[in-house]
Structure 1
Amino acid sequence: YCTSAPFAPALKADVLKRWPGGLVEIYSMTEGGVVCLLQAHEHPDKLHTVGIPWKGSEVFTIDEAGNRLPPGEVGELVGRSATMMSGYQNQPDKTREASWFDTDGSRWQRMGDIGRVDADGFVELLGRSKDMIISGGFNIYPVDLEGVLLGLPGVEEAAVIGVPSDRWGETPVGFVTGAKGAVLDTDALLSAANEQLGKTQRLSALYAIEEMPRSHIGKLLKTELRELVEARA
């Protein structure tokens, strides 16, 4: 079982190849009570997803105007279950901000993640909504850029954040750690990555760091990466 942190599709495939038993990934939201399960050993073609909403959970996407989207469309994930919270204690504004209401008035929980739900009901995560980068009016999903960086020689881990830009509003900046024994040439890596990225996605800077900042349960702390950029600036 795996939960609480991103699980790369390639790593899932490697675990399935090496591990004699099954592999189950759990994606959940405390406030919404939503749980998605991916039984990877039964769905090797869905390793890019976190599975389907499990019994009692419902998930779909909405656009920036709050309209419900059809399957396959990228948007903000909203969900609900029988154990969804009634609200944040003594924080009605925060409760309102985290809520989405259907046409019948029923309340759903905004999950804070960008993703899509495919025609089979499998949920794919593209990143946190607060981490989405808006550069020159274009939406940039860090996970797409991170995937390119992870495919470059010697790169062990990668993370991309948005930083303020006078010209574009925001611009993407990348961080990488090296595999054991690797010496990273960030100029070469930046050039190689930008050759593979679309014009609106290109990284404006790339930094090599010794270790990615993580919480005690392994979640990447992008707030600390932003602090690193501010300190260097």
Structure 2
Amino acid sequence: MPVLRFDNVSKQYPGGHAALAEVSFAVDAGEMLFVTGRSGAGKSTLLKLIQLAERPSRGAVLFDERNLARVRGGAIAAHRRNVGVVYQNHQLLMDRSVADNVALPLVLRGIKRGDAGKRVRSILDKLGLAARERALPSQLSAGEQQRVGIARAVVAEPALLIADEPTGNLDPALSTEIMALLAALPERGTSVLVASHDLGLVKRMKKRVLVLDQGRLVDDIAPEDLVDE
């Protein structure tokens, strides 16, 4: 069963700008894929619809086969707990330690402090950050900050992780490292959808690629059809 499905989704903003037009695709459980396209192609709008930061003008977005149009009020926060988000600029709390930043989704879920601490230490260890748990974000390198952002996004084991240009501010070596971390998540049950305009990196990953152009889904490329240039 798909974890996420877009069914003829269109999004029109006030003033007539069509950000998305009749977009349909599905993401299977345990799948990693990319969405790419030029700036303004609709990538960010697509991610906002998944998070319920925006609503479609037409069509349906389904998460675990539940139409998100029916998710209102307090249920919005519950939905967002099932969607981990990695941002380009980390959005870490600069006055809190690494461990406190990563624990935030667990605190919001009401998980006991002791249990949350164990899960935080486990994920920091997996991401090579065990020695940095008491550090403040300002004491970390850019790559370490991005890894903290990933740790926070996956510590609650969401069904889906979405990442918006997660390597946009990183050098090529760090970009490859971050993508490898994301690629390991489906084995643990989290599907991964990455928005990126770095075509070279996308091709090297050999994953399915959705191509947006002016709000339309113009291609859905299988991994075996990706050709290195």
- TM-score after normalising by structure 2: 0.28
Q: Work out which of the two has the higher radius of gyration on C-alpha atoms and give 1 or 2.
A: 1
> Which structure: greater strand fraction?
1
Question: What is the TM-score normalised by the length of structure 1?
Answer: 0.27
Q: Which structure is higher in RCO with an 8 Å CA cutoff and minimum separation 6?
A: 2
Structure richer in helix, relative to its length: 2
